[in-house]
Each structure stands twice: as C-alpha cells, then as structure tokens.
Structure 1
Amino acid sequence: MGGLIEQLRALGTLRLAAMAGVGLAVLGLVAWLAGQPQTTKAGEPAGDSLALADRWRQAEAAVQALLDQELADEDGEPALARLLSRLLPAGLPVLLANSSPVRDWESFAHPGAPPRPMHGFRGASGIDGTLSSACGLAEALGDLVLVSGDLALLHDANGWLWRSQLSGRLTVVLIDNGGGGIFEQLPIRTEPAAAMDFERLFAMPQPVDPLALAAVHGVPGRRVAGLATLASDLAWARQQPMALLVISTDRRRDAALRQRLRTMAAAQVTPP
C-alpha cells in the first residue's frame, strides 16, 4: 500500500505542459488514501463492505430467478435477449445494434450464458451503418450474429450488397416491431393520442418487407413463428453464408413488460 501512495504522491506533482506555460495538478487522492483505516491499506475488506456485497449477490440471484419465471412464457424482445444469449454457442461473436437490442441484452441476457465476444458501435445517427459494420466484422472475424431492429437494418439496406463478396458467415436476427421501439420506453405519448402523431413522428414504421428486401439481394430468410422455434431456425440460418431471421414483436406490449420487470426487480433490493 505504501508503494501505491508513493506512486500517487509522485503523480500529484504531474506537470502539465501547455502553450501558455506549465501548470501543476495536485491530486487529493493521496491524502484521502493515506487517511484510510489500516485494514483497508492491508487489503482486508471491511465487514460492512462484505455485508453489502452479500446483499447485492442475494438481490442479483432473486432478480435472475424473477426474470426466469416472468420471461418463461414470453415471446417479446426481453425474452428474445434472454433465450438468444443461451442458444448461441460459446465463442460466437455478436454485434448488438443500438437502441433496444443493446439495452435488452445488458438487462435480460442470462448470466449463465456461454462467454463470447460482444461488439457494439455508435453511428452518426445511432443506427448509421449497422448492416455494413456487421458485414465488416463477419469478414474480419469469420463468423458473426447481428441483432438489430427493423429501422436500424433498413437504414443501411445497401449492406446486403456484401452478399456477393463476404467470405465470413453472417446471421442477422431482425426484431421487427414496426418502427422505433426505443421511443415506446419514453414518456412522450400524449393523452389524448390525437394531440400528437406518435407513430409518424417517433415510431416511423416503414412499409417494407425485410425478407423481400433481403431476397432481392440473394439473401435467404425466414420469419420466426415464435421463440419456441428459434433454435431450429437458428440452426437453419447458421448453415447459410448469409441469412436473415425476422421475429415480429409488439413494441407497446414489450415497453410495458420492461417497466413491469424493472419495478419487480427494484422490489428485490432492500434499502440499507
């Protein structure tokens, strides 16, 4: 511990060179660390810290049991994230598109799922270049699964042109919820509904059949009937160099489900 304090003390006199001259940065962390109890310096966690960690472990176990129970008979986006995290084999890279897919995976993916490389990115508009980025990763890594919403995929539909030159394998799992489902999770709908055209201004559903669009580019696809058939549909898609699986969901229902799960999860955490 003493060595660490000495290092921090040295950093406390770090000189910051600048065009106008030389400044001095003083780190208050040195004094704070020096004043900590001896047990902290010896690397022994305090009893209160151990008790707090145990409470969080118990709360986590309770929340995961709750999610297993509540999502067992669901077919929506939270259930998809939980099931897909377990179905995909270990080591298979996954790219999560922005908005709901990346948030759902973080919130609902199963903690016992096989380990794998996870990828994400932030385009100029959040969804810019989703499909092309997935194709580039599949080319570099040899294999990839993309989980995307319908607007994100449509926003980069020219990415399907990779099909003729892609040497890696790409499986696209498309969540088709009729527009920008992320906006359903924000308190922006009005009462009465006629006061604002939510569907046109925020959800923006598009009259495009994603399977037909992929087929125009020579990419085979299937519409998944429900999560009960997801395993077999994935097995089929994983045999293709490039394939599209479309899962239709209800964004309003899923938004309400997420809110209900968050409320139930919060109840599992006992205040200090």
Structure 2
Amino acid sequence: MALTFDHGIYEPIARVVAHTASGRDSVVAPGQVISVFGQNIGPAAPSTASADPATNRVPDALAGVEVWFDDRKSSLLCVSLGQINAVAPSSLTPGTVTRVVVRNGFQSAAPLELRVEESVPGLFTVNNSGTGPAAALNQDNTLNIESTPALPGSVVTLYGTGFGAMDPPVSDGVVTGSSAIARVRLPVRVEIGGVPALVEYAGQAPGLVAGVVQLNVRLNSATPVGLPEVVVVVGESLSQAGVTVFVG
C-alpha cells in the first residue's frame, strides 16, 4: 500500500487584515495596530511578544512568524493559529497600496492588499468588538464603567490606533516610556454626545507599544449624561460608530 501526504494541509491562509480596534478592513494607516485572521498563520500554542530589555522593542519575528508589508517587516504583538496582532510599519506611504504577506515557518500565505490612508482612527472598546463602551479611564484613574461614570467637565482617557504619523517620528516596535512623548501630527477633534470636547493630549501611550494612541479629553460641561457616543476625527477621517462612554 502506497502512502501519500498532503503537503498543503498546513498551508497558511490569510483571509483578512483588520483594524484591531474598529474591525475595519481593506485600509490601513502608517503605524496602525492590525489583526490578521486566517488558518495556520501561526503556532498552535499562542505566543505573546515581550520587549527586548536591551532595545525596548517588540520583535518582528515571533514563534517562526513574520508579517511583511511589501519589503518591510511589521512589529509583532501576539501570534496564534488563527490570529496575529501586529503593528503596520510607520513608513507606509498614504495614497499607495501595500501587499501584506504572512510567513509561518517556511511557508507564505497569499498576499492581501490594503489601501494606505493618512489616518484610519479607531477606538478600543471594553468587549474588543469595536462597538459599545470604550476602554477608558476617568480623571481619578478609575475605570469608566456604569458605576463610576465620568463627570461633565472632567477628563476621560481613551485609547485608539490608526491615527497616522507622529511628531516627532517614532521608531517601529518601541514601547513608549514616560518621557519624550510624540504627538499625533494630524489635527484631532472629539465630540461626545454631539458636544465638542477639549483634546488635551493625543499621542503615544506610556507603557504601550508605538502605534497605540492615548487621548486625554476634557468633557464639556454640557455633555449629556448617560451613555453618549464618542466620535474622533483625525484629519478628515472619523472613528467607528457606536463607541460610548459613561457620563453621570
């Protein structure tokens, strides 16, 4: 009896590259955190990146996995059989199309194409779905949840990605320290419940990898109480619909 082997059974298949915060696909901004979904694109045992103590950077290869944007490797955050979280290179050029290739060991998935835009802002949410209550902190560092809402006139901290270039430019994969914080280069506006809020800070998030943006936003005294929707505008691009904060 002859034995045959199907060498394609473990072939990596990348199905979609999505915005990790909003879930939007087909587009990407320089330095944006992205999620690749597919089959056999990573190890069976999930692996999470740690920053190298010598360089304070997360790796661009993890458990035999690499994610390439054209001829540039992305920084990796975590890899598994069906999902990879990574950070798109900050050197991507808006107005172009980039080809994303996942390499798992010695095999490569078919490329996926993304349109590069100046900004593709998205906010992280508590349930990781891209809608519902934002992953947010109140002015006193308590979680912004129903039992501890933000007060009108107070500061709320939001987290997002896809805000585009930073000023000054930031090296890919670096975990942000507490000093030398870069800010979002494009203008940033925020409305909460349809009322403009004051953006006190929009830039790197201390303790998190470059690509994650922290927004410190002071609520207007006229902000409606309850669960108003948050809209962030970066340049000319809007964040996803359906993200809210608790105000009381």
Fold shared per TM-score above 0.5 = no
Higher relative contact order (CA 8 A, sep 6+): 2
Counting helix residues as a fraction of each chain, which structure ranks higher? 1
With structure 2 as the length reference, what TM-score do the two structures score? 0.24
With structure 1 as the length reference, what TM-score do the two structures score? 0.23
Counting strand residues as a fraction of each chain, which structure ranks higher? 2
